[in-house]
């Protein structure tokens, strides 16, 4: 490696994407660390991430973050030049044995202080792990590295992706960062990853040990790791509880601030230094967030969620009493929470290694046939394309076995399919009802490829009140086909459909043909549920929240409608 103005020394890290060298800046003989992208021709995404870590860290003045000196052009890529403070990763530092409690507290407190600074700069790191935390073995100084996927947004949406392409490191990733948690990613995601890192440092093993990537995602979503103290009996219960609180599945149940976490660690450490023992105490007493956040929990929807999960459980069972497709309809006004309810189904889908795909109809694109289904299946193709080569080859064989030489009919509608099955021969051109019948028949065969005991399929189609006639006909045919391991979920605004609406006529016809449809009608939240939401959001008692709600309702009754809209 040759980089102008730098003398390159030993290679200290070689990963799948990056290489790291020690070196010296020739102009002042300053020791530096130089990070490079491994590929000769990196992707645009890799280049953007590389620039991102430089852009975020160059203006951070924090002793706990490795300083970046410059971003140099290097061949077809970049070289990131950073300070060299003689650090090694905590992963390497603790590779032989778990960290001692005497070492843990000073290290943990430094890390928490760093996260507190990131919080005040509204930065989410999104890849906290021992390999990204450096420590100087002599001075015991700790610094954080690798901001390549860090975000300057205080909250951001994470869409579901194949585990191979998720942002972050899967062993430490928070439930919401998987995109299957029906919630935004915020600063508390880093707390979960910190808890997983503490767990590994203290016990010598990860919270969840499995080679199956989807199983690991499910573990983060739904399973509780063994208490750290049961793995390493030298860990006191209070520290084990702190780690467990950091790794709570719901962000509202974790620490809400780095200062609240720091207070609990300092209290445990102080008691230990004074008495040589650890005593339990109530965690989070000083954990008061300074940022207003509306809870993302679902309130007052327990029965609706149970209906949805029960429906998925029926179609995912290996054997059912009746071999049939099933359809769930979620009806309600715009903004009442239809999509939020449906997203709850992600967790059991991951457990069953199924697929969840979604499409949405648009009021102003009703002239585009099948747009909602096309959007959903293009999403499915992207998920499959991100899988390993062996799985991709298996899907190719299954699809071609079903569609044969007619594959081009589906490719013309879902272009991404060609990336899986390759170039296909042209088909005879048909018109009118003949073309529609051929497509519907082939699409049903195509659909059945992805519905199996090993991979149940859930299709969510939103805003069905704007679906075109071809889509409604396809829904009717799918429900008549009695495809197993398929759950079709539709959402629509019931205030915008009359009994003579094409959607309602289609549903009536399906039910007359003995199709199984279950409808969930979402109503506005009750006063009790609203009270719970307000109390959680304001961190106050239920009595205080109900008083506030009473005042708001009185104002709503007194104010003219125009003023209410302005408020």
DSSP character string of 111-166: HHHHHHHHHHTT-B-S--SGGGEEE-TTT--EEE---TT-BSSSEE------GGG-
How does pLDDT run across 389-423, given as a tens digit for each residue? 889 999 999 999 999 899 999 999 999 999 999 99
Rounded mean pLDDT of the chain?
A: 89
pTM for this predicted structure: 0.83
How does pLDDT run across 198-231, given as a tens digit for each residue? 999 999 999 999 988 888 998 999 899 999 999 9
Written as six digits, the tokens of 446 are 């195509």
Dihedral sign of CA atoms 530, 534, 536, 541 in order? negative
pLDDT at residue 562 in the model? 40
User: Is the per-residue pLDDT at 538 higher than 80?
Assistant: yes
- Per cent of the chain over pLDDT 90 is 61
Q: Do domains 88-275 and 305-521 have the same CATH topology?
A: no
pLDDT at residue 289 in the model? 84
Please give the C-alpha separations between residue 204 and each of 108, 191, 235, 332, in angstroms, as whole numbers: 16, 19, 12, 50
The phi, psi pair for 560, rounded to 5°, reads -65, 160
Average pLDDT over residues 122-133: 95
User: Is the per-residue pLDDT at 565 higher than 70?
Assistant: no
Q: Is 37 helix (H, G, I), strand (E, B) or coil?
A: strand
pLDDT at residue 164 in the model? 66
**Range in 120-129, 335-344, 487-496 the model is least confident about:** 335-344
Written as six digits, the tokens of 413 are 């509608």
How does pLDDT run across 548-557, given as a tens digit for each residue? 777 666 555 4
Domain ranges of the chain: 6-83, 88-275, 305-521, 527-566
pLDDT at residue 566 in the model? 42
> Which has the higher per-residue pLDDT, 544 or 263?
263
pLDDT band of 343, cuts 50, 70, 90 = confident
Please give the C-alpha separations between residue 231 and each of 211, 227, 285, 310, in angstroms, as whole numbers: 20, 7, 27, 35
- CATH level 2 (architecture), domain 88-275: Orthogonal Bundle (1.10)
**Range in 129-138, 336-345, 397-406 the model is least confident about:** 336-345
- Report the C-alpha gap between 78 and 73 in whole angstroms: 5
CATH 1.20.1260 assigned to domain 305-521? The reply is: no
CATH 3.30.1330.10 assigned to domain 6-83? The reply is: no
pLDDT band of 17, cuts 50, 70, 90 = confident
């Amino acid at each position: 490696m040759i980089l102008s103005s730098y003398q390159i020394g030993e290679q200290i890290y070689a990963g799948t994407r990056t290489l790291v060298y020690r070196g010296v800046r020739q102009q002042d003989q300053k020791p530096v660390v130089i990070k490079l992208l491994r590929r000769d021709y990196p992707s645009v995404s890799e280049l953007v991430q590389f620039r991102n870590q430089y852009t975020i860290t160059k203006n951070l003045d924090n002793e706990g973050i490795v300083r970046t000196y410059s971003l140099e052009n290097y061949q077809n890529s970049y070289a990131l030049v950073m300070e060299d403070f003689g650090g090694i990763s905590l992963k390497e530092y603790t590779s032989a044995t778990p960290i001692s409690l005497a070492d843990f507290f000073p290290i943990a407190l430094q890390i928490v202080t760093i996260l507190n600074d990131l919080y005040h700069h509204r930065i989410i790191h999104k890849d906290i792990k021992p390999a990204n935390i450096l420590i100087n073995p002599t001075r015991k100084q700790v610094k954080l590295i690798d901001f390549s996927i860090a975000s300057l947004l205080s909250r951001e949406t994470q869409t579901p992706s194949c585990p191979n392409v998720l942002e972050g490191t899967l062993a430490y990733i928070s439930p919401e960062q998987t995109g299957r948690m029906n919630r935004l990613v915020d600063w508390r995601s880093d707390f979960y990853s910190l808890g997983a890192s503490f767990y590994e440092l203290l016990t010598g093993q990860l919270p969840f040990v499995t080679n199956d990537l989807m199983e690991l995602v499910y573990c983060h979503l739904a399973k509780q790791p063994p208490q750290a103290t049961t793995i390493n009996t030298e860990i006191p219960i209070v520290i084990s509880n702190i780690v467990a609180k950091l790794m709570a599945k719901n962000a509202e149940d974790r620490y809400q601030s780095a200062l609240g976490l720091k207070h609990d660690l300092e209290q445990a450490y102080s008691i230990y230094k004074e008495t040589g023992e650890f005593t339990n105490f109530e965690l989070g007493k000083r954990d008061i967030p300074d940022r207003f956040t509306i809870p993302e929990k679902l309130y007052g929807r327990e029965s609706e969620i149970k209906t949805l999960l029960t429906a998925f459980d029926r179609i995912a069972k290996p054997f059912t009493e009746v071999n049939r497709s099933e359809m769930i309809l979620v009806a309600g006004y715009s903004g009442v929470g239809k999509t939020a309810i449906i997203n709850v189904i992600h967790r059991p889908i991951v457990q069953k290694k199924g697929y969840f795909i979604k499409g949405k109809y648009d009021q102003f694109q009703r002239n585009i046939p099948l747009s909602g289904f096309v959007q959903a299946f293009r999403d499915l193709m992207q998920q499959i394309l991100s899988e390993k080569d062996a799985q991709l080859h298996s899907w190719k064989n299954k699809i071609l076995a079903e569609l044969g030489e007619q594959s081009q009919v589906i490719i013309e509608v879902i272009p991404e399919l060609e990336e899986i099955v390759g170039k296909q021969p042209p088909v005879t051109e048909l018109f009118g009802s003949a073309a529609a019948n051929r497509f519907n028949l082939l699409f049903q065969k195509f659909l059945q490829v992805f519905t199996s005991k090993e991979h149940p399929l859930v299709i969510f189609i939103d805003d069905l009140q704007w679906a075109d006639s071809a889509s409604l006909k396809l829904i009717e045919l799918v429900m008549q086909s009695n495809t197993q391991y398929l759950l079709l979920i539709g959402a629509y605004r019931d205030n915008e459909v009359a009994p003579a609406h094409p959607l309602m006529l289609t549903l009536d016809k399906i039910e007359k043909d003995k199709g199984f449809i279950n409808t969930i009608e979402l109503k506005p939240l009750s006063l009790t549920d609203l009270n719970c939401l307000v109390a959680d959001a304001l961190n106050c008692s239920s009595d205080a929240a109900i008083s506030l709600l009473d005042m708001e309702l009185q104002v709503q009754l007194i104010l003219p409608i125009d003023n209410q809209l302005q408020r």
